[in-house]
Copies of this chain bind each other. A is one copy, B any other.
Amino acid sequence: MLPDATDRKILELLQQDSQLTIKEIASRINLSVTPVHERIRKLQKEGIIDKYVCILNRRKVGKALIVYCNVTLDKQRRESFEDFNKAIIQMSEVLECSVVSGNFDYMLKVIVADAEAFNQFYQHKLSALNSVLHISSYFVISEIKYTTAIAV
């Protein structure tokens, strides 16, 4: 079942603040508690709501530096992609990794303490992978926007 307008309002609110009480959500969308509760339960059961998490202030946990990496693999090696994927999933510095179209293979978002920590990651973990042929790194100077909320 696709989310209707009411479901979308609920999703919008929960994507901003998942600690809102059902009572509070109900009052904001002019409904009573029962249907709101029922809708949230359904959205969870159907997997539209995937999970609930907390978002940390990355500076306050000592992760001040974000680096985007464009990675090109060595296509000669048959297993390159599989090997690379498995390795990347294990690396806690990598928050996002996608195969992309264009003149390189992967786009990575890496988060580390500082430039020296990135150097360690780059030298000993990322470029140490056999499958990697080339890496271009883009250091984030200023984060303008970061949200996990999808417009529904």
Chain A residues within 8 Å of B, Cβ to Cβ:
3, 11, 14-19, 46-58, 60-63, 66, 68, 85, 88-89, 92-102, 106-107, 111, 136, 138-152
Cβ 8 A contact of A52, one of B50, B52, B150: B52
A60 and B50 CA atoms in complex are apart in Å by: 10
Cβ 8 A contact of A56, one of B66, B141, B152: B152
Of all chain B residues, which has the CB nearest A146?
Answer: B96
Q: Which residues of B contact A66 (CB under 8 A)?
A: 98
Q: How many copies make up the complex?
A: 2
Q: Which residues of B contact A100 (CB under 8 A)?
A: 68, 138-141
Inter-subunit contact A95/B147 (CB<8 Å): yes
Of all chain B residues, which has the CB nearest A100?
Answer: B138
A53 and B152 CA atoms in complex are apart in Å by: 15
Q: Which residues of B contact A102 (CB under 8 A)?
A: 136, 138-139
A138 and B145 CA atoms in complex are apart in Å by: 19
Q: List 11 A-B contacts (CB under 8 A).
A: A3-B61, A11-B61, A16-B51, A50-B56, A68-B107, A89-B144, A92-B151, A99-B143, A100-B141, A101-B141, A102-B138
- Nearest-Cβ distance from residue A148 to partner chain B, whole angstroms: 6
Of all chain B residues, which has the CB nearest A16?
Answer: B53
Cβ 8 A contact of A57, one of B50, B57, B58, B138: B50
Inter-subunit contact B54/A97 (CB<8 Å): no
A94 and B3 CA atoms in complex are apart in Å by: 22
